[in-house]
Amino acid sequence: MYSSACKEAIVAKQKAMELHLWNMGEQQRLEEARVAEEAAFAMVGKQKAKCKAALEAAEVAKLIADSETRKRRDAEMKLVGGYEEDEALDSCSVADLRYRKYTIDEIEAATDRFAKNRKIGEGGYGPVFRCYLDHTEVAVKVLRPDAAQGRSQFQQEVEILSCIRHPNMVLLLGACPEYGCLVYEYMANGSLEDRLFRRGNTPPMPWQYRFRIAAEIGTGLLFLHQTKPEPLVHRDLKPANILLDQNYVSKISDVGLARLVPPSVADSVTQYRMTSAAGTFCYIDPEYQQTGMLGTKSDVYSLGVLLLQLITGRPPMGLTHHVERSIERGTFAEMLDPSVRDWPVEEALSLAKLALRCVELRRRDRPDLATIVLPELNRLRAIGVDNMRPFELDNSILSSPVHSEVSVQDLRSGPLHLQSGYESPRSQRGELSIFGRR
């Protein structure tokens, strides 16, 4: 028995040694496979970087080539007495002195021929460049040739912004109607969306500023709704389209989707049927989206979602439901933006309840902006002003705001790359008409 036990022990030891050697071999093979995988990923990364650099160089070269081609073509057409396509535009805008008209040469010189280090963002309308014009820092939005409804939105934006002036509406400084370029005032602190989500590692915005911004947005929106003789509905109100200047004064931008509601309709039912809904998902009035019936309270719905984001700092998807449940369960304080330590919970709860009334599914259940919403927002603004404290944001990490239709993204500083498919505005010359003041 002893001899058998010794033999079994020797056999077991040999098997253990074999298993150990096999395990070491497996570990070595796994390590070799991991090293090979890392090397492959590194090689793929290098190839992607090379491809990206090549695409950027090709886009810049194409942009410059298109610009030069268009210049030569324009010169040839001038020599042969061309430009028939511009006669309607010239006759319409020759006496229109409501805004500064820039030539494409001035725009190109200011943006260093649309250099990629001047680009600060990209939207559905086209790219935006930060530069100086007339010794003033500005943001230039350029019509992209393949932009959906780009030229109609260009006309709409020029028509509206050149006719209205308000402290809480972005200021249109000028335009190049021939090539679809819009020149806006430069907004040093970017968009409200970027500040709420602290992009660029910016500090959290104090509740006092949020209350003030809410009242400013309501004031600007009411100004649009009281436009005479036709109320103006923004249709795309969201944090990405609220811009902040160096003093954190908020201004509504991107009115390219706005629509004028006929006064006869506005005075009776404040609704106007549109052929197709426009706007951004999560901010569109559900009743307008389903029926196509447009009214000023369509913007009230968007304002409600925006107000909820102001106090929670969260994305809009499902936000209404979460806030409602938290109020029912008595856990509303947990919904407040945790980056702000000193929330006045009672005032924030009042603002949340007002916002929930604004996002009612039926338009008739939403409160009136002038008589109910704005007075409450002004009351909260007064509380915020009484408790105001200094708030500084490091502007060195910010770039210019993006004036886009659907989304405002990438407002960080540093060189941003030209998006694939962008062409010089000279490559697509539109026959635009600038409407006169109604």
Q: Are 244 and 190 in contact (CB under 8 A)?
A: yes
Check 90, 112, 194, 236 and give the catalytic one: 236
Confidence class for position 150, pLDDT limits 50, 70, 90 = low
State the virtual CA torsion across 420, 421, 425, 429 in degrees, nearest 10.
180
| Interval 149-155 mean pLDDT | 68
Lowest mean pLDDT among 56-65, 192-201, 338-347, 423-432: 423-432
Predicted confidence at residue 119, as pLDDT, reads: 86
Residue reference for tokens 């052929």:
275
All structural domains of the chain with their residue ranges: 1-81, 99-186+414-427, 192-397
Confidence class for position 258, pLDDT limits 50, 70, 90 = low
Q: List alpha helices for 80-130, DSSP H.
A: 87-93, 104-110
Cα distance between residue 253 and residue 258, in whole Å: 11
Q: Which CATH architecture does the domain made up of 192-397 adopt?
A: Orthogonal Bundle (1.10)
- In tens, the pLDDT along 352-408 reads 999 999 999 999 999 999 999 999 999 999 999 998 876 655 444 444 344 333 333
Q: Is the dihedral of CA 265, 269, 273, 277 positive or negative?
A: positive
Question: For the whole model, what pTM was predicted?
Answer: 0.66
Cα distance between residue 84 and residue 66, in whole Å: 21
Does residue 178 surpass a pLDDT of 70? yes
Does residue 263 surpass a pLDDT of 70? no
- In tens, the pLDDT along 298-332 reads 999 999 999 999 999 999 999 999 999 999 999 99
Q: Check if 236 is active-site.
A: yes
Does residue 251 surpass a pLDDT of 70? yes
φ and ψ of 137, to 5 deg = -75, 125
Cβ neighbours around 190 below 10 Å, total? 26
Same CATH topology for 99-186+414-427 and 192-397: the answer is no
Q: Is the peptide bond before 229 cis (omega within 30 degrees of 0)?
A: yes
- In tens, the pLDDT along 77-115 reads 767 655 454 554 444 444 355 678 898 899 999 999 888
Predicted confidence at residue 314, as pLDDT, reads: 94
Does residue 410 surpass a pLDDT of 50? no
The fold of 99-186+414-427 is Phosphorylase Kinase; domain 1 (3.30.200)
Tokens of 285: 């009035």
| Interval 278-283 mean pLDDT | 74
Cα distance between residue 173 and residue 107, in whole Å: 13
